[in-house]
Structure 1
Amino acid sequence: MSSKLLNKEDVNKALEKSLSDIFENDRFKDMLNVMAHANNYSLNNTILIVAQKPNATQVMGFNDWRKMGRSVSKGEKAIKILAPYMKETEMEKIDPATSKPVLKEGKPVIEKVKFPVGYFQVNVFDVAQTQGKEISNVNDFIKYNMKNDEYIEKVYGDYKKFLTETKGLEINEKETEKGVGGSYNRVTNEIIVSVNENRNNTEKFHVLIHEYAHSLLHHKDSEMKNLPRGHREAQAESTAYVVSQYYGLDTSDTSIGYIAHWAKDMKVAKKALEEIQVVSSTMIDEIDRMQKENIKSFYVDQSKSYEEAKKHLVDYHQLSEKVFNPKNKQETRLELINKENGYILSGVIEYNQKEENHYIRTNRNLIEPLSEISKEGNLAVLNIEKELDQLKEFSLHSRIPEHYEVVEVKGAYIIQSSNGQDVISKSFSNKDEADEFYKRSSMAQALHKNTMIEKDKHHDQLKDNIQTVRQDIREQVNTSVSEYINTYDKKKMFRPTGTHGVTIGWTLLKNPHLKTVGDLEKFEKENKLNPSYRDLGEALGASVNENSKKEKMKVLVVEEEYEKTQ
């Protein structure tokens, strides 16, 4: 398909070709899988997704992934789906009861109406094409519960009761002939679930869905009641497969016959798929509503983490509550640490009108939910860099070496604030790993502050003492770099000078395998032509030379003291 606006004929040709490819390449189960996992898309877009990425499980647009804290991996090819192009026009309002124009004071009422005039392509991506924050959603929560036989026994029992009381079905469990898991009688509207052919509640649940599909599609007044038996069975089993897949139930024994006949006529095939999608969506909606209390508890937990994060920012970090006013337009920025890898980043608090909550947009342009800075989240707040557009005094900033320490808790090691209220790392099995995280994070924080003071447009608020602040931050950088290297290099004490610590520090952060002066010198020789490291040689030379002078002075002092004692 081209990038121009597509008309209905273009779309139908593309869909027919994609659907034909699905059948010819034996991807019918892929179609059902995507229908189960990406059930928020129309059938047409589901067909297009399967044709381009048959193993897709969760599909969203670029910006939606960013809001979830994930980014599309470099080099990934977008999945092209369709969105209608709507045009607005003025028309006479028609009374649906009389099919005549609505009149007011004898004149027709005019209303604005939107209608599609064509379709344009939209780029979406599967979760496998993205990277970033792990996603926790309600469907995963329900799937986890469904693995428990007692839980699914309750869902199965509740669903039987719901169908009996609201759909006029009679549902009974009886012994059946060998090989017959269940049946539906359209004359009596009775569903039978076999007690001898189904081994557990999961199988009974699957059979109930299958037979309920028959009752919705092939009841006595249905236009489809006289379709070939194979067609009807394929529809019912496909529906059961979609619903079972949605809830993470075992579908390995599912065998769907007859679909080869659908492949001979794309109109018949598409009609069958439309019916499967409608019926399976109906069932999923009904079953989810039965589990509303469990689903509600999931969202309560999510909301709890969000509220915990807000409270932590206000109570512990003294952030103004005005920051969380939806009408606030002034920027508030946090200094954050990733508990998993020790990266330091800036995050701006912004308000999402659609979701009606706040989130964090990082300087790497990733979207992180505010709940990520709750106790169980993957981010911790080190400092408030800027509040309501006012740059914070640097003297108030918490520095890792001064405010945090490696602490042993129940046989594991964490980096915790001295008052014990804030943890800024994951847990480590040994102290050396925790110390490595502590020292690298200290270095990363100092480098982050250096970048911020050099680039921030508002640092003129500190104009009276900007040089003192700059010098203080460079001293932090040089100290953290020397402490990191001297942990691994015992032969000589290493100390950067001036701005050279910034050059060396960023080299160490970008290349975690570099530990000693020798490592750095070897790396510099191998990367002489790399523009990113063009100043590294000068930085190392200045630092080492300065240290050599200090070492010589120490030797002279020691010798003088020794001679005085003789």
Structure 2
Amino acid sequence: MAIKLEEGRVKQAVDSLLEMFASGNLPEKVARTFINARAGYGRPSDKWSLGNKLLMLIAGTEDARGYQQWREAGRQVKKGAKAFYILAPMTRKVIQKVIDPETGEEKQEEKAICTGFKGVPVFRYEDTEGKPLPQADYSPPELPPLYEVARRFGVEVKYLPFAGQAAGAFRPGQKQVILYSHDVDVFFHELAHAVHNTIRPLKGGQHRDQEIVAETVACVLCELYGAKGYLWHGWEYIKHYAGQDPKTALKAIMAVLGEVEEVLSRIFEAAGMTADRKA
């Protein structure tokens, strides 16, 4: 009976959402927020360029350092571990003649210029052993609704400082949801990916239908939980993948609505099971 009641609420929320999308009458958007690195928990990679941070994430880690940096942190690179390479600028100092804006006099000034880049070997945290590193907890003061559902599906949820890429990510192979924002719609979006992956294995990267399913589920959940300020972002996200024309975007949603409803059904079924266990 409880599940049928939820199905009724979900249908009402879906209808309300589609009506808002069709009319363009959306609640005013809220500001986006991202998690900043916490002072006192310094990783060398926090100061890296966006490109090098992406290389680190592609290597499958959130912390990578040089051999000596790991030794200074009390850890040793495991025997046989292979490094991956980030790019560091090569600089040299030159003397330039400049005009003092106040006196108009010519003077010489030393300046460092970039002459190229070199590869620097770094090792993943997972390829080291030794002293535990200090851990910063980036979780929000209050966990989002349905947080336990992720665990119900065996998915770990981690909050980390924003590294310049997407606000969140789902890693099917590691069964992890990584969140770089405390915004509730980001969690709902990645939770939708995780549950969608139980219906059919998701393709790697960002694919049109997968993203539309995840964002539509997130919007429905925002509507159900009263987080209306995120619907504007959701509609823009869907249009980005479906085409900026609202009619085309609505057709794209309707084409995957069956999968959206199945994802929502599984989420609420898992939520009901969690509630039963707590009772």
Fold match, TM over 0.5? no
Give the TM-score category using the shorter length.
Answer: 0.3 to 0.5
TM-score, normalising length from structure 1? 0.22
TM-score, normalising length from structure 2? 0.40
